[in-house]
Amino acid sequence: DGGITQSPKYLFRKEGQNVTLSCEQNLNHDAMYWYRQDPGQGLRLIYYSQIVNDFQKGDIAEGYSVSREKKESFPLTVTSAQKNPTAFYLCASTPPENEKLFFGSGTQLSVL
């Protein structure tokens, strides 16, 4: 089955700690995205990548970092600089020449 796999489903961060959220896709999509979802707010774009070894900041990139070393993988690191990290994080991808998003099942990040 083709799709996007996010792990872990739940993640807890201690103060001052960096944590990494995994996102893997087998859809052969070039473009991948990370969104943050807070209650009562729309999805907000953190980072996106149109191609391997290239990525761009989205609307709320501060306190986050990404890498894109492989087409299939787009991990997100929530750094200690992100002071309000508690949120539901969604990874997504789009087919070529298309803005229709395919989403993973999300990771809920909470602060201990």
Q: How many CA within 13 A on the CB side of residue 56?
A: 9
Among 1, 42, 54, 112, which residue interacts with other proteins (rule: CB under 8 A)? 42
The single residue listed with the structure tokens 């229709």 is: 100
Contact positions with other proteins (CB under 8 A) in 43-82: 43, 45, 48, 50, 56, 58
With a CB cutoff of 8 Å and minimum separation 6, the contacts of 29 are: 93, 94, 95, 96, 102
The single residue listed with the structure tokens 């002071």 is: 83
Q: Is 90 an interacting residue with respect to other proteins (CB under 8 A)?
A: yes
Q: Is 106 an interacting residue with respect to other proteins (CB under 8 A)?
A: yes
- Least distance in angstroms from the C-beta of 18 to other proteins: 24
End-to-end CA distance of the chain: 35
- Least distance in angstroms from the C-beta of 22 to other proteins: 14
Using CB under 8 A, list all residues that contact other proteins: 4, 6, 31, 33, 40-43, 45, 48, 50, 56, 58, 88, 90, 92, 94, 96-106, 108
